[in-house]
């Protein structure tokens, strides 16, 4: 009777060790997911708008202003007050 209980306890301890190892791997891969997925996404949200803005400025310098306007009076978007005065 006591031997059966000890055998069952040993099996339970072995199962606990397996579960601990699996949990360690789960934690490890979730940390990897944070590093390789979330960090680049956060950096993209922070830095992409500035990069796109710089690219658009370079494009605007390449395109002649007369072809952009076509005799239409567009508001100056750099001066936000012009947007509300019209």
| Digit-coded pLDDT (tens) for 11-66 | 999 999 999 999 999 999 999 998 999 999 999 999 998 888 888 887 777 766 65
Token pair, residue 40, equals 């680049």
Residue 68 lies in a domain: no
Is residue 22 in some structural domain?
yes
pLDDT for 60 equals 75
Residue 23 lies in a domain: yes
The pLDDT, as a whole number, for residue 57 is 83
Structural domain for 36, as ranges: 2-61
- Going by pLDDT thresholds of 50, 70 and 90, the confidence category of residue 74 is low
Number of domain units in the chain: 1
The DSSP code sequence of 29-63 is HHHHHIIIIIHHHHHHHHHHHHHHHHHHHHHHHHS
> Looking at the domain assignment, is residue 76 inside a domain?
no
């Amino acid at each position: 009777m006591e031997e059966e209980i000890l055998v069952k306890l040993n099996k339970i301890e072995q199962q606990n060790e397996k579960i601990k190892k699996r949990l360690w791997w789960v934690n490890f891969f979730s940390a990897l997911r944070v590093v390789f997925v979330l960090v680049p996404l956060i950096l993209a949200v922070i830095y992409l708008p500035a990069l796109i803005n710089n690219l658009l400025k370079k494009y605007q310098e390449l395109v002649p202003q007369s072809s952009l306007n076509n005799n239409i009076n567009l508001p100056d978007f750099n001066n936000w007050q012009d947007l509300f005065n019209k």
